[in-house]
């Protein structure tokens, strides 16, 4: 089994690649979409661990390019800024799973196996907080505007800089 780890964080990439290698997998790495596409052209990549937000690119766009190149490749998206709308979009575009960071190596490997991810937290029974609902709404509108901050700020009726500050914060859990 050959994995491709696509992330713009070199420390995370090297640690994940090293642990996957120690577990007996072949591993290639890429820091951006161009490198990821080149790796898929040159290697027998079967599974891709792809960061949703790379420095200058969206993982959703790279996901589409990878699947166009190799329709049978399996892709799991990782993100530190998870939202329901991006998770749904990722699955619609062909990702096999979507995980929030931090995710353990066991969780990442299990994400490629249907029905193998175990809930680490009990199912949420309370409605989400106002802050979480706001975060989800911002992410949905941002996704509808293809990641364009200025267009999203106009739609939401807020200043662009205010939106940027909100996007830099980690989302609230509930």
Q: Which residue is listed with tokens 């799991």?
A: 76
C-alpha neighbours within 13 Å on the C-beta side of residue 97: 20
C-alpha neighbours within 13 Å on the C-beta side of residue 106: 4
Per-residue pLDDT tens over the stretch 27-48: 999 999 899 899 888 778 999 9
Q: Name the residue with higher pLDDT: 49 or 141.
A: 49
Tell me the sheet residues that pair with 5: 29, 49
pLDDT at 99: 86
Contact 171, 132 (CB under 8 A): yes
* Tokens of residue 9, six digits: 């964080």
Write down the domain spans for the chain. Answer: 2-111, 130-168
- pTM, entire model: 0.68
Q: Give me the architecture of the 130-168 domain, per CATH.
A: Orthogonal Bundle (1.10)
Strand blocks (E) in 18-128: 26-30, 47-51, 74-79, 97-100
Per-residue pLDDT tens over the stretch 52-110: 888 778 888 889 999 999 999 999 988 876 677 777 888 888 889 888 877 888 889 98
* Tokens of residue 37, six digits: 């596409």
Strands 47-51 and 74-79: parallel
CA distance 138 to 167: 8
CA distance 163 to 135: 11
- Residue 160 to residues 22, 30, 169, 174: CA-CA distances in angstroms? 45, 31, 15, 25
Q: Give me the architecture of the 2-111 domain, per CATH.
A: 3-Layer(aba) Sandwich (3.40)
- Residue 3 to residues 29, 54, 94: CA-CA distances in angstroms? 8, 18, 17
């Amino acid at each position: 089994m050959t994995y491709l780890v696509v992330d713009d964080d070199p420390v995370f990439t090297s640690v994940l690649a090293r642990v996957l290698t120690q577990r007996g997998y072949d591993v290639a790495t890429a820091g951006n979409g161009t490198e990821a596409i080149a790796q898929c052209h040159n290697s027998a990549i079967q599974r891709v661990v792809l960061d949703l937000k790379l420095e200058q690119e969206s993982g959703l766009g790279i996901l589409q390019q990878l699947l166009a190149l190799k329709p049978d490749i399996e892709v799991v998206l990782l993100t530190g800024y998870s939202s329901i709308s991006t998770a749904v979009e990722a699955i619609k575009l062909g990702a096999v799973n979507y995980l929030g960071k931090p995710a353990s190596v066991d969780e990442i490997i299990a994400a490629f196996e249907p029905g193998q991810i175990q809930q680490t937290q009990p199912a949420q029974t309370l409605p989400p907080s106002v802050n979480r609902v706001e975060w989800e709404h911002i992410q949905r509108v941002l996704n509808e505007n293809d990641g364009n901050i200025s267009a999203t700020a106009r739609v939401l009726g807020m200043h662009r800089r205010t939106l940027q500050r909100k996007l830099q914060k980690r989302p609230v859990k509930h």
